[in-house]
Structures are given as structure tokens and as C-alpha cells.
Amino acid sequence: MTVEKRVIMNSQEMELALKRIALQILEKNPVLADVALVGIYTCGVYLAERIGAIICEQAGTTVPSGSLDINLYRDDWSLMTQNPVVKTTDIPFDVDNVDLVLVDDVIFTGRTIRAAMDAIMDYGRPNTIQLAVLVDRGGREFPIQPDFTGMKTAVQPDERIQVRLTGQEGGNEVVIER
């Protein structure tokens, strides 16, 4: 079976989208001392690092960042696999009273973000939880919407969005696979 692929965001467009997201985060959160980024494994971690670097470049200060594995918090993990691959959650800061920005590559049903919010609550109670995603493909099953979005697109039910990052085949790009 041949997989059809269509590039919807190239490397340059991805960089512009990440810069726009970083600037929107800065605009919405003028007190950076209260802001922290948490990337959701796997692609969200890389994107949070990139957004953090852009914020540092623009504002001249760093924001705390961490990584979050949500596999055991998913309500559908047993449907996906009998043995989920658990990665390390690394949140090296206190999340209490922080304006926390969750970062993920693609939002679809909202299940990943719901699981991420459940996981974060095990670490404390943030002041706010905001959501930054590179691609919003629609099709929500939960009433969860991103605060910051690089691109909105509609895809067919038999299509899948794949975010490819440096080091992976194809470099930095977003493709729709059918």
C-alpha cells in the first residue's frame, strides 16, 4: 500500500509559526517570571524548547521548561497498546501559581491535552494552563481549544498529520499522510 504525502508546512513556515506562537505567549503573559513551558512527549518537547529559545531571544530572559509523559494518564491507552512506552517526566520547577503553557505538535480529539492537565495536577496547581500547538486539525471529542496555534487545517478522516523534526526523515516539515 502506497502512502500519499502532502507537505502543508515547510521548515521556514514552521519557524515563522513558532515565532508567532512565542510572541503571542509574550503578549498574553507580560510577567515572564510567572510563566513556564511544558512540552508533551515527543514532538511537544522539541517545540517547547524552540519556543523557549525564541522567547529568550525576544525578551532577554529564560522561562523554566519541562517535559511531560502522559501515557499512563490517557483514558484510551489500553486501546492503543497493551504495553505503553513510558518516558520520563521532568518538571524541574514548582507548578503552583505558575502560568503554565502546555506545548504539543498537533491537537485532534483533545484526549492528549486532557491527560496532560490531569498529569500536571499531580505536580501542583498552576495559576493558569494555556495551550500552544503547532497544528490544529479539528475534530475535538472534548471541549478543549488551543490558546496559541501555528496553523489550522481540516483533514479527512482517513488522513493523518505527521510533524517531522530535524533529525527525522524529511527534516522540519508538517505533512498530511493518507
Q: Which helix (H) or strand (E) holds 57?
A: helix 43-59
Which residues does residue 101 pair with via DSSP β-bridges, in sequence order? 37, 130
Per the structure, how many domains does the chain have?
A: 1
Q: DSSP 3-state assignment of 162?
A: strand
Residue type, 84: P
Average pLDDT on 2-19 reads: 93
pTM: 0.91
pLDDT value at residue 166: 80
**pLDDT band for position 170 (50/70/90)?**
low
Query: Does residue 21 form part of some domain?
Result: yes
CATH of the domain at 38: 3.40.50.2020
Backbone angles phi, psi at 45, to 5 degrees: -65, -45
Query: Does residue 175 form part of some domain?
Result: no
Q: Containing domain of residue 46, as a range?
A: 15-158
% pLDDT > 70, the chain: 89
Query: Does residue 178 form part of some domain?
Result: no
Q: How far is it, in rounded angstroms, from Cα 61 to Cα 30?
A: 12
Query: Does residue 89 form part of some domain?
Result: yes
C-alpha cell at 29: 503573559
Tens digits of residue pLDDT in 31-57? 999 999 999 998 999 999 999 999 999
